Structure 1
Amino acid sequence: MLRDIQSAALDLVEQQGLDATTIGDIAARVGVSERTVFRYYASKEHALMPGQQGLIDALVGHESAHTSAAGILEDLLAVVRELFSHEVEQRDFRRISRLLVHEPEMVRVVARQERSMVEALSRELVRRDALGALQGLVVAEVVTATWRIAWQSFAQEEFDGKDSDPLALFDETVRELAGLFPGA
C-alpha cells in the first residue's frame, strides 16, 4: 500500500506538477480513500519523499562513541552516507532528483524537511549532553548540508544528462567540506 501511494504520487506529480496534484488524485489512482492516504502520509509531499523521516529517525537515534564535535560529526556523516547509499538503490531516487530540478515547490518542501532534521538532531545532541547548543546546531547543519549538497549535485548531473555516481558525489562533498578547514 505504501509503495503504491508513493508511486502514484510520483506519477501524478511528474504528469501534472506538484501544485495540480491533490491527495484526492493520489487516492483515486491507487483506488483507496483520501483517509487511507492520510493514514500513511501527512501530505502529498510526504508521500513523494517518505525517506526523510527515516533519515531524521536514524540520525536522532544514533549514539556516537565520540565526545568531540568532530568525532560525532564523522559518525553522523557515516550514518548519512549509509542511508544515502540505501536511497540510491531505490528506483525512485532518480525520479525524485529530477523533480527537485523541475519543481521549484519541491525545493521548499525539502527545505522544510531539512529544517525539521536540523531541529530534531541538534535538540537530541544537546539533550544527551553530547554537545552544547551551538556545537549541536553546527553539527546538525553540517550533516544536513552534506546530504543536501550531495543530492542536489546528483540531481543537477542527472538533469544535465551526465552519468553520475551518487555515492561518489556524497564522498566528494565530504572531502570538499573537510578541505575547507585544513588543520582545524
Structure 2
Amino acid sequence: MTNAEIAEAAGISARTFFRYFDNKEHAGIPGQLDFQHRIEAFVPVDGPPSSVLQQIEAMLEAEIRESAERNQITIRTALMFASEPALLEEAAAQLQRTSKVLQAIVLEHCPSLKRSVTLIITDLAMTTWHTSWEALGQRYKAGETITPLDNYREHCAMLREIVQ
C-alpha cells in the first residue's frame, strides 16, 4: 500500500499524511505519536545523573501504563515487532530521532549535567526502552505472560546491574 493509498483510506490528503508521519512505517507503529508528544512535554528537574535517569524512567513508565490501557494494541505492537524485523528497524530509527529530542530537553533543563553525561543518560534510557519492547514481543511470541510494565522494570533493573 502506498502513502497516498493510506492517506486516502484515512480520509486525508497525502500532504496531511506527511505532516504527521515521515513514512508509512511510522504511521504503522501504534502509539508512536503519543510517545513523541510525551517526550516533547517532559520537563526534568536538574539534579545528579541518577536522579535525571530515574525521572526519564518514570516518564517512560507513565507511557507504558497509559498504553497498557489499550492492552490489545500493546500486545499486537509487541508481536508485530517480534515478527517484522523491518518494522523493528523503523521503530529503532524513530527512537533514535526521539532520543535526540529527549537529549535537547535534558540539556535545556539540566544545566548542571555535562553534555556527554546527558547523552549517556538519554541513550541508556532509550536503549532500555527499545530493548524492553523487543524482548516483550519475543516473550509474547514464546507464550509468556508478563505485563509491559513489569517487563520494562526488569530491563531497568538489568541496566542498574550493568552500570554498577
**TMscore range, shorter length:** 0.7 to 0.9
- The residue number in structure 1 matching 2:133 is 151
Paired residue for 1:100, among 68, 73, 81?
Answer: 81
Are 2:78 and 1:116 aligned?
no
Q: Give the CA deviation at 1:76.
A: 0.8
- The residue number in structure 1 matching 2:123 is 141
In 2, are the aligned partners of 1:98 and 1:155 still within 8 Å (CA)?
Answer: yes
Counterpart-to-counterpart distance in 1, 2:46 and 2:107? 14
TM-score, length basis structure 2: 0.84
- The residue number in structure 2 matching 1:163 is 145
Q: Give the unaligned 5+ runs of structure 2.
A: none
SS at 1:180 equivalent: helix
* Cα distance per residue 1:87-146 (max 9 Å; x no partner): 222232222222212222112211211111221111222233252210110111111012
State the number of aligned residues: 162
The percent identity for this pair of structures is 23
Paired residue for 2:60, among 77, 80, 94?
Answer: 80
Residues 25, 160 of structure 1: alpha-carbon distance in 2 compared, 3 angstrom cutoff: farther
In 2, are the aligned partners of 1:122 and 1:140 still within 8 Å (CA)?
Answer: yes
In 1, are the aligned partners of 2:44 and 2:106 still within 8 Å (CA)?
Answer: no
More RCO (CA 8 Å, sep 6+):
2
Q: Give the unaligned 5+ runs of structure 1.
A: 1-20
Q: Which amino acid aligns with 1:54?
A: D
* Cα distance per residue 1:36-80 (max 9 Å; x no partner): 544543421221125334333323432233411110100110000
Bigger-Rg structure (1/2): 1
Are 2:144 and 1:174 aligned?
no
Residues 64, 123 of structure 1: alpha-carbon distance in 2 compared, 3 angstrom cutoff: closer
